[in-house]
Amino acid sequence: MKFTIGKADFIKVLQRIQGIVEKRNTMPILANVLLEAAPGKINIMATDLEVFIKDSSGADISETGSVTVNARKLFEIVKELPSDTIDVTSGKDDKLTIKAGKAKFNIMGLPSKDFPVFPAIDESKLETIESENLKDMIDKTSFAVSTDETRYNINGFLLEKDDSKIRMVATDGHRLAFIEKEDIKAVPAREKEGVLLPRKGVMEMRKLLDEKEGNFQLGVTQKSAVMKKDNTVISVRLLEGEFPDYKKVIPKDNNKEVIADRILLLSSLKRVSILSSDKIKGVKFSFSKGKLVVSSSSPDIGEAVEEIDIQYGEEDIEIAFNARYFIDMLEALEEDQVRVELKDSLSPGILKPFGSEEYTYIIMPMRL
């Protein structure tokens, strides 16, 4: 294999795959990137067996071929090279030689035949989806995904469709985020079924949405979800298991409605939570006519109290929530006001952007 490539182009494709490369080294080759020189371009692929990514970049190819080398080391070397043009060669010994200016590096590689095969993709099954809609759905649910790897069925996002709607749901058992969009150009999920997308794969898709503009292609098969934009393709293996019935979690009888300024509430919670217990971040919410008092206390540190004006005309209610859970949701919104629906001090609260029904956030109360 022998090719010449621009430094900026090489860095761009190598940077994109860094988050996917397996760092735990369960299989040494998963720490590597596959480089394949094809006519007029180089193809690059990385995987951790859950997420696969492939990309390509234009290059001057003198000799086709392929090799795998350590992805992180290759990226670090290319980033520091002194020249804008890089010459790359490899021979039968799977050693990669990189030259730029007066610098020369030799990296030991592994045979490309041992690298996992990229899943087959039927591009006719991919549908166009608006990137802004998908971004919004991920941004308003990703913080609620469980990070407990033993609870694999909530270690990702539920994506489901129903007629002309597409939904994304995430939960960690203490909170649940639910967003539903209508009139999306395509609804890329299996008919009347939900699929579970792993957190890591979705976050890699989210990075791609930021990198490239315009509409993307998305498709879901029996085993994987695929996103494609230009030369970049991400394939994500679906999680197995059954997502909890989120419809049963959404309270139906929260009849006390609070309307608050989102920025005021967010700022207040950030301040008051400084003196809450580091572990549980518990903050007490005391609602009364026209005002909300948020307070926190820690025996070892001290206490904080702040009052903000709200729209509320029901009986007084006192309830405690994890401030971090509240803050995550308020930061994800863009609306000026937020609606909080409550029942009593022991029941879950519902948060929604004021004036919209497409997004719902459920948060369990705490005992302080």
pLDDT of 299 above 90:
no
Q: In this structure, is residue 100 part of a structural domain?
A: yes
Residues 234-254, mean pLDDT to the nearest whole number: 93
pLDDT of residue 193: 67
- Among 247, 267, 296, the domain-final residue is 247
Task: Indicate the range of 26-30, 32-36, 140-144, 272-276 predicted with least confidence.
Answer: 26-30
Residues 222-232, mean pLDDT to the nearest whole number: 92
pLDDT of 25 above 80:
no
Q: Are residues 25 and 103 in the same domain?
A: yes
Q: Are residues 219 and 276 in the same domain?
A: no
**Has this prediction a pTM greater than 0.85?**
yes
pLDDT of residue 212: 83
Q: Are residues 163 and 74 in the same domain?
A: no
Q: Return mean pLDDT, the chain.
A: 93
Residues 129-137, mean pLDDT to the nearest whole number: 89
Residues 335-343, mean pLDDT to the nearest whole number: 98
Q: In this structure, is residue 299 part of a structural domain?
A: yes
Q: In this structure, is residue 368 part of a structural domain?
A: no
Beta bridge partners of 145: none
pLDDT of residue 184: 55
Beta-strand ranges (E) seen in 48-162 are 51-58, 60-63, 65-70, 85-90, 95-100, 103-108, 127-129, 156-162
pLDDT of 330 above 80:
yes
Which CATH number fits the domain that encloses residue 314? 3.10.150.10
Reduce the DSSP state of residue 80 to 3 states and report it.
helix
Q: In this structure, is residue 243 part of a structural domain?
A: yes
Q: Are residues 209 and 94 in the same domain?
A: no
CB 149 within 8 A of CB 199: no
Percent of the chain with pLDDT over 90: 80
The label of the residue with tokens 């694999």 reads 152
Q: In this structure, is residue 99 part of a structural domain?
A: yes
pLDDT of residue 316: 97
pLDDT of residue 59: 97
Tell me: the pLDDT tens digits for 65-89?
A: 999 999 999 999 999 999 999 999 9
Q: Are residues 278 and 326 in the same domain?
A: yes
Task: Count up the domains in the chain and report the number.
Answer: 3
Q: Are residues 355 and 337 in the same domain?
A: yes
Instruction: Sheet containing 282-288: give its strands across.
Output: 302-309, 291-298, 282-288, 317-322
Q: Are residues 226 and 256 in the same domain?
A: no
Task: Indicate the range of 118-127, 292-301, 330-339 predicted with least confidence.
Answer: 118-127
Residues 173-194, mean pLDDT to the nearest whole number: 72
- Among 199, 220, 247, the domain-final residue is 247
CB 136 within 8 A of CB 167: no
Q: In this structure, is residue 211 part of a structural domain?
A: yes
pLDDT of 191 above 50:
no
pLDDT tier at 189, thresholds 50, 70, 90? very low
Q: Are residues 265 and 242 in the same domain?
A: no
User: Exposed, middle or buried, 289 (CB in 10 Å: 0-12/13-18/19+)?
Assistant: exposed
- Among 73, 96, 114, the domain-final residue is 114
Q: Are residues 273 and 323 in the same domain?
A: yes
pLDDT of residue 185: 55
DSSP category for residue 212? S
pLDDT of residue 211: 87
Q: Are residues 80 and 168 in the same domain?
A: no
Per the structure, the complete domain to which residue 215 belongs is given by 123-247
Q: Are residues 304 and 232 in the same domain?
A: no
Q: Are residues 235 and 311 in the same domain?
A: no
Q: In this structure, is residue 232 part of a structural domain?
A: yes
pLDDT of residue 78: 97
